[in-house]
Structure 1
Amino acid sequence: MLAAVDHVQFAAPPGSEARLRAYYVDVLGMTEIPKPASLAARGGCWFRAGEVQLHLGIEEDFRPAKKAHPGLRVTDIDSYAARLAARGAAVTWDDGLPGLRRFYSEDPVGNRLEFLEPVRGV
């Protein structure tokens, strides 16, 4: 039986770890978590915020995920969007999902991320 999503894995190009760390830690506010020694030699980096884990693995023939994406629940979505924008990340609002406020952004290698918050009282 499925119980939860453990993590979401994205691909990233070789040599992009510093840019990924700057975005996921400094922009999104996540914490980098160490990869197990058996996987560390492959490159990439892993991040956590609460129960959310995002793993970035290195892929030689990298193509960013432009459609596929995680939907990440946030609190105080307006402040979170302002945080991203103030740190240079694009914020694209979308009102196409009733009962939720949401926006999209991209990490520094072009992977799509969706941020959502339920509308209170709906």
Structure 2
Amino acid sequence: MGVHHVQLSYPAHLQAQVERFYSEGLGLPRIVHAQVLAYLAGAQRIDLVPRTTPGHGCECLGHLALQVAGVEALQQRLQAQGATALAVVRVAEGWRFYAKDPAGNTLELLQPAPLAAPRPRAAPAAQPAGHPQAPVDSAWTVAA
């Protein structure tokens, strides 16, 4: 259906420079989003997550989030094809699961839904490391 958001990481000690780059340099409006710096780029969101441990560039924090329909069927289809696909879980924006492409890139597959909508089936699942869980509040608010 389209790109929902992109998540990138940055060294935690560079937060002030990262904020200036996205807000003043690129002119993107900052929005309130739990545990990350978040900006709107048109209708899409850019999430920036701080890295606090030294190491290689990505540390598996970066990922592409695609907006999908039929999240449950998609997750089952990928698993049937032998792909790594975690369980579907409820999040602020709807329901999602993470999967790996054949090259090892992380994809987040997200089906937006109203907060009050019931989930088709319950399945407990842990959050993958490096992917912060937002509280159940999907309203994006432009930060002051």
- What's the TM-score, normalizing by structure 1? 0.42
